[in-house]
Amino acid sequence: MCPLMLQARKSSVRIGHDSELDTELSGGCTVHHQFMKPDKATDLNDSRWQGIEPFSTVAMSNSTERDDKSDRAPNFIPRPPRLTAEWIESQGMVAHPARSLQENTGLMTKPPCIRLSIEDLKSFEAVERQFCPWGVELSNAIALRPSNDAYPPRSGKMVLLGGPKSGWMEIAFERPVSFFNCYVTSSQRVVLLAYDRDGQTLTQTEMSEPNLANSESKIAPNAQLSAIATQIARVTLYAFDGQITVDDLSFGF
């Protein structure tokens, strides 16, 4: 069973530059939540967020060490929206790869969510500027129809592989976005980092262990990793020299 499904038995909060919340789960696992400070540019009452459940970025670790000051409750913990698969599928505009910049008109407005469709890509095709009409460019990504059952697609038959260099993938946005979501399978733990235009880290999410199919991992393949913050200019997935596949990428403004 995934550690996130275990029953929480203790919580504590640490307040620094951003709000942080640690939840100790039965079995010695700690879930680490990061909450960015509220920003006037983020309006969670905006109609675009309707139907989304409360969310926090989550990082799982086995550490149970705690700070003596961690029992102090914060005055305010912002609760960003949760990106459910149902909301993404119902609200998302599907973006197909373009073979030329003239093939698609791209973004004329800012829809609540854009989902990248990779099914039309060729196997072993390097993916870089195929989605530029929708304001997104990928680095170190290869489209692949996996023959290894350890890396199953979440939907369809294709995935994006971190390559040709193993262990990472980057997604950059022409216009800053408010959230990014994807589903990851990896032979190593994975860290998702979101940056602003100046290269400053806005938030991060960690998958604490490998999650290959048919393995003993407590985390199922195609684990959801998300980042929610204002002014996200790019996100990077690090798998620490492991093999990583990504499916059903989406983002929104």
Q: Are 163 and 210 in contact (CB under 8 A)?
A: no
Q: What is the chain's mean pLDDT, rounded? A: 74
Mean pLDDT in residue range 74-99: 68
Q: Is the pTM of this model over 0.85?
A: no
- The pLDDT, as a whole number, for residue 99 is 63
Mean pLDDT check: name the lowest of 34-43, 107-116, 121-130, 136-145. Answer: 34-43
> Which position has the higher pLDDT, 106 or 116?
116
Q: Residue 92: pLDDT band by 50, 70, 90 thresholds? A: confident
In the numeric block, which tokens belong to residue 251? 């983002």
Q: Report the number of distinct structural domains present in the chain.
A: 1
Write the DSSP symbol of residue 16.
S
> Which position has the higher pLDDT, 97 or 84?
97
Q: What is the DSSP string of 76-132?
A: ----PEE--HHHHHHHEEEE---SSTTS----SS--SEEEE--TTSPTT-B-SSTTG
Containing domain of residue 115, as a range? 3-252
